[in-house]
Amino acid sequence: MSKILKITGLEKTYTSGNKELTVLQDISFEVEQGQTFSIVGPSGSGKTTLLGLCAGLDQPNAGTVELCGQDLKSLNEDQRAQLRNKEVGFIFQNFQLLPTLTALENVSVPLELQGAKNARTKSLNLLEKVGLADRVHHYPSQLSGGEQQRVALARAFANEPTILFADEPTGNLDDDTGEKVIRLLFELNKENGTTLVIITHDLELANRTQQILKLKGGKIVSNLSTNQPTTAL
């Protein structure tokens, strides 16, 4: 299988006043095409910083990130943005829906930006898959947290991404709602053949992925296979 994500010797340091804070140090790992992969660790371990580097939202102080066969260091900001628009999907803890757009419009936006002719039809189909066929014209403020995250799921898969990064996708949801969202996430992931990278502090969720990378203090403490099947439901 080909490597969708290859991280080598990654380091990230922030400067605050005259002090330097090393957030990530000597991070190396690989993610295979179609794999479900989780990154776990306590708060402050560098999980979200690592996600940003993997997706080209930020740049490391040292090391390399190869995403979908491209060395991000060799790309300028516009080229990295183009790569993300074409290959990458995102799901965030706080949903990040546009409040002035309906559920349907939130899902349609990424498709329309790419000039897709079937944006409305495809968006309706995705919203139906996540159980929101009767909520397509509702605004985020009219939806529950679980419904908003399901809209975010539909939006994330709209562009048929090669790799999807989910940052604490159930962090703002109760247990029952979170379980429904995760089942939908794995179902859509399997259906689309997407590579899934989940950032989470939830070990139960992590154990449903095929590989678990554990961070502590900005360093890798383990990188273990769980022998989960691709379905991971």
**pLDDT at 231 exceeding the cut of 50:** no
The torsion region of residue 74 among left (phi > 0), alpha (psi -120 to 50) and beta comes to alpha
Per-residue pLDDT tens over the stretch 72-125: 999 999 999 999 988 999 998 889 999 999 999 999 988 888 888 889 999 999
Backbone angles phi, psi at 19, to 5 degrees: -110, 150
H/E stretch holding 134 reads none
Mean pLDDT value of segment 2-31: 92
| Within-domain flag for 167 | yes
- The predicted pLDDT at position 232 comes to 45
Share of the chain above pLDDT 70, in %: 97
State the pLDDT confidence band at 153, using cuts at 50, 70 and 90: very high
| Within-domain flag for 121 | yes
| Within-domain flag for 156 | yes
Q: What is the residue-averaged pLDDT of the chain?
A: 91
| Within-domain flag for 69 | no
| Within-domain flag for 105 | yes
SS3 per-residue string spanning 155-175: HHHHCCCCEEEEECCCCCCCH
Per-residue pLDDT tens over the stretch 56-67: 999 999 999 999
Report the number of distinct structural domains present in the chain: 1
The torsion region of residue 56 among left (phi > 0), alpha (psi -120 to 50) and beta comes to left
Cβ proximity of 88 and 55 under 8 Å: yes
Cβ proximity of 194 and 161 under 8 Å: yes
- The predicted pLDDT at position 233 comes to 46
Mean pLDDT value of segment 148-174: 92
State the pLDDT confidence band at 230, using cuts at 50, 70 and 90: low
CA dihedral of 168, 172, 176, 180, whole degrees rounded to 10: -50
| Within-domain flag for 74 | no
Global pTM?
0.91
State the pLDDT confidence band at 229, using cuts at 50, 70 and 90: low
> 98: domain CATH number?
3.40.50.300
Cβ proximity of 202 and 171 under 8 Å: no
| Within-domain flag for 205 | yes
β-bridge pairing 163-167 and 195-200: parallel
Domain region containing 102:
35-56+83-225
Per-residue pLDDT tens over the stretch 171-196: 888 889 889 999 999 999 999 999 99
- The predicted pLDDT at position 113 comes to 81
Q: Is the dihedral of CA 168, 174, 177, 179 positive or negative?
A: positive
- For 48-114, the DSSP string reads HHHHHHHTTSS--SEEEEEETTEEGGGS-HHHHHHHHHHHEEEE-TT----TTS-HHHHHHHHHHHT
| Within-domain flag for 61 | no
Q: Rounded CA gap, 165 and 90, in Å?
A: 5
Query: Whose CA is closest to 83, among 72, 94, 93, 92?
Result: 72
